[in-house]
Amino acid sequence: MLHPLTIDDAQKFDQRPTIEEYPGYVFMVVYGIDEILPDGPDLCEVHVIISGRWVVTIHRQPIVALASVRERFRDRPPRSPLLRVYRILDAVTATFLPMLALIDDEIDDIEDEVIGSQTTASLRRISALKRDVIEMRRVVTPMRDVFGHGAGSVLDLPGLGTDDRLYFRDLWQSVSRVSELVDSYRDLLTGTTDMYLTRIANRHADDQKQLTLIATIFLPLTFITGFFGMNFGYLTNELIDTRLSFVVFGVLLLIAATLAFIIYFRRRGWIGHHRGETAVPTRAPLGDRRNGVRASRG
């Protein structure tokens, strides 16, 4: 006989992963990823009621992982009730691995993009991946605590032997590994964002430097043309009254000033020493590779 609180909780979704102990059974809330959609992981919430004689799973939509376990049980029933519980929970938690494998590949692609050429598309991809990682972390971290501290509640049920603690230890290790990967990918994405912003800032600094060099080169030219453009009799009648003076002061002096500044800038290393950057070809975005992918990270 189920407690009224269990019946009420079993009908409410969007809950935090948890485990609750009742007389003769336990109620668990766990999460998995049923499908990898173009806009992110499709988190599926599974309510599990475990007794020594039966196991009930409640979810809003069909879940491929649980359907596979059900077919396997039909062909080859588990040798113990606890093994049945383990297979169900392991199938649900293992669904995070394909998504994490895709995120790993996507982070590599984004890092190549950021190193090669920075675009707003790279920043959008980073933001989308961050949302996916944060969404998974929201459920994975509590699940690690559930499997770490709630194993005793399940193993103490009548009909489940306490000699099979290795099953739940394996579940805890798997979820802990998923949690560590999620945390590490979040840190990698944060570092990639910082690298992206740093390179954008460096590019803007280079643009400002180039504009400054151009303004510096034109500064003496403006001074020379302004000085000899003054309408004084001495200048117009004595210095720039011949064709030769026009060539010397109006053309050669401007060219000499420009060349002098260019040579000076090159010797100081301000121009002529920048490496050209080429865009690194990347693979298709994660959204184009998510559907139908079922890979596992070894």
Least confident range from 10-24, 219-233, 246-260, 265-279: namely 265-279
Choose between 138 and 168: higher pLDDT.
138
Could you tell me which residues come within 8 angstroms of residue 164 by beta carbon, excluding any fewer than 6 positions away?
Answer: 80, 82, 83, 86, 155
Quick one: pLDDT at residue 247?
A: 78
| pLDDT one-digit tens code per residue, 45-71 | 999 998 878 889 999 888 888 888 888
Token duo for residue 277 = 């950057």
pLDDT above 60 for 284: no
Task: Grade residue 281 by pLDDT with cuts at 50, 70 and 90.
Answer: very low
pLDDT: is 39 or 212 the higher one? Answer: 212
pLDDT band of 276, cuts 50, 70, 90 = very low
Residue 272: per-residue pLDDT = 63
Query: Which CATH entry fits the domain spanning 4-201: 3.20.20.60, 1.20.1250.20, 1.10.150.120, 1.20.58.340?
Result: 1.20.58.340
pLDDT band at 298 (very low <50, low <70, confident <90, very high): very low
Please tell me which residue, 135 or 112, carries the higher pLDDT value: 135
**Domain assignments of the chain as residue spans, ordered by start:** 4-201, 208-268
Determine contact, residues 177/148, Cβ cutoff 8 Å: no
Distances (CA, A) of 160 to 86, 122, 155: 11, 51, 6
